[in-house]
Structure 1
């Protein structure tokens, strides 16, 4: 018997089947999952989405999940497996924690989150379920604040900075001018950038702060010509979590040099103009369903949907414990040219990175010639010997 997929999203509903595939054989358990997202997410405010900053979300991650579950419905049916996805918007950290507890009581086997780091930790600590992190790239979630049951589909900040550092090394752009924004998030990300620069033997010739301000006394802090004068460098690396300063920096530097980081050349999990390994078909299917280009965050959500399907197929009769164990053992196809898997030491999904200027994909990382004794994908992000996550999986 075949039952068509349903797609019903009503705000605040606990169990909304956005992809429900009828089992081919009677008695199959239903893998229930709940996506917890911020209510009234400021990242999706219309003016920000319209600016389309590289590396920022382009819309709700439910779009990518729906596309993945629609694509895998026939595989699920053939395996006698079933996936049901629910949504739970949360306005506060406490609400996110309560949503996780309620989902566990309602029979959820997996939680998916697109939440800030503190919220994600609160959700993970409130339940005994595996958590798939779709949207937070914070290294702390993979390092000192890691959790044994949390898996990360979105690349970490360290993976992004390592990808850029490898690209700079491959082009022999070794001397860098580092420009850093004034937010606490920028400070953390700049430390990650410095770790990647050290890892790949690059040199920072100068590090300067910038600040966008309406105060005329501070306008020099946002002047690209003043900020990029007085030093000799091969490239400018800009750390700008907000994105506004970084987008106006290319072609405005004193020296005619490339800009990388959060403007110019940016390392991402995905770009809609990636043209290899079946990626154009993935991007077209997403654009047809969501009516917008596929972003890196959408790809992470799409991979989460594929993970749910793979887990349901691997253990179509459940129980929850079998599904939880199957996540860490999953081998996935992300249309990036190689099999993807989760790292045992930090729960991060191994994956190639795409280097893009916003118009197309310029290069991929790991860069050609970069070597690793076990898996070259582990040259992106914290490697096992660094032992930054104290929890064994």
Structure 2
């Protein structure tokens, strides 16, 4: 018996050593390239933008990946390059691509496309972690560009599923004056049409008064001529005025979109599926809560590490092929494994709908079925896409 146990131990050790040698010598040099933004002023200072937004998520993923990497003999490096708002991101991108072909992009959509179109980037693997623009996943998609932040369409589809479940058919809309607000409002319109709904009366927010003092007087008058509706949608992606709309409308109706009930990639109120452990680790690291951009950067780096672990390779072509395959799955604290859509590089993921200090529900909701994955009811599905770069 002792001799058999010894043989089993030797065999197990040889398998372990063999596995390490097969998957050893894998080194991932990952860069985080950020083009800093100058944000327009908003009415309230209650939600400041962290200086390490996005970067902190990538740093947490690096620590998570190094834990497994030590056992397998893999190494992961992360370098952060930040370009000031007035700076040109292209020279920085060329410098980054000279040393790394795995890059997380934190920048507006035009910059994302400019970097993705560089000749030096054609053999690289890029991850958009902060730009929600639908066009990046559709008409402006690029074959070397993946997306871990949900698109506008994914968030608004999640919201419309909830609206359908509540049978709210009469919808009104208040839209901000910024381009980001217009993009989110357009996504709301498309999602409403997708689910057989239509947004009725709408107004554009034009106030420059201090709503911290005047909301109770101004908002009822502003919303009085919207008529009757079941739900008031608000498109205010900069967080300027939306917080002053709930409970101040002329009609006592629920509010959703950019305030009250909000579809997000991630929030501190996501607590199920082991999320509390990650929330705590992130808070211990940064002293703040995890934002959607942090989660997207975390998911991008973890996806790369998972692909390297499973393939034992570090070259972008092999990693890209595996990420787009049916074999790839990312455990990401949302109750089901995440995967990439092979037609546009978007990370499939559930969308929490949050309100204040609680998650109300997570989309896709029960009853919204799909022949492949219910997650594909959120955002551009294969028959809807015009992206050709992944074919």
Q: TM-score under structure 1 normalisation?
A: 0.85
Pairing partner for 2:67 from 63, 68, 74: 74
Equivalent position of 1:115 in the other structure:
107
**What is the CA distance between 1:341 and its match in structure 2?**
0.5
Other structure's SS at 2:221 match: helix
CA contact (8 A) 1:44 1:59 kept: no
CA contact (8 A) 1:133 1:152 kept: yes
CA contact (8 A) 1:350 1:378 kept: yes
Q: Which of the two has higher C-alpha Rg?
A: 2
**What is the CA distance between 1:327 and its match in structure 2?**
3.1
Other structure's SS at 2:241 match: helix
Equivalent position of 2:128 in the other structure:
133
1:312 and 2:308 matched: yes
Cα displacement string for residues 220-255 of structure 1 (whole angstroms, at most 9, x for unaligned residues): 9x9321232131111100111221211110101111
CA contact (8 A) 1:234 1:257 kept: yes
CA distance 1:201–1:57, change in 2 (3 Å): farther
CA distance 1:297–1:44, change in 2 (3 Å): farther
Equivalent position of 1:184 in the other structure:
179
Within a 5 Å distance, the mapping from 1:33-48 to structure 2 comes to 33-39=30-36, 41-42=37-38
Pairing partner for 2:58 from 44, 55, 65: 65
Structure 2 CA distance, aligned partners of 1:366 and 1:29?
37
Equivalent position of 2:264 in the other structure:
268
Other structure's SS at 2:81 match: strand
CA distance 1:296–1:44, change in 2 (3 Å): farther
Pairing partner for 1:150 from 130, 145, 154: 145
**What is the CA distance between 1:94 and its match in structure 2?**
6.8
| Root mean square deviation, CA, Å | 2.7
Pairing partner for 2:335 from 334, 337, 360: 337
Structure 2 CA distance, aligned partners of 1:316 and 1:49?
49
Equivalent position of 1:51 in the other structure:
46
**What is the CA distance between 1:362 and its match in structure 2?**
0.9
**What is the CA distance between 1:76 and its match in structure 2?**
1.3
Structure 1 CA distance, aligned partners of 2:135 and 2:323?
21
**What is the CA distance between 1:388 and its match in structure 2?**
2.4
**What is the CA distance between 1:63 and its match in structure 2?**
0.9
In structure 1, stretches of 5+ residues that fail to align are: 1-22
Pairing partner for 2:198 from 199, 203, 212: 203
Other structure's SS at 2:207 match: coil
1:254 and 2:246 matched: no
Equivalent position of 1:284 in the other structure:
280
CA contact (8 A) 1:57 1:298 kept: no
How many pairs are equivalent? 363
CA distance 1:227–1:85, change in 2 (3 Å): same
In structure 2, stretches of 5+ residues that fail to align are: 1-18
Structure 1 CA distance, aligned partners of 2:83 and 2:373?
38
Structure 2 CA distance, aligned partners of 1:209 and 1:350?
32
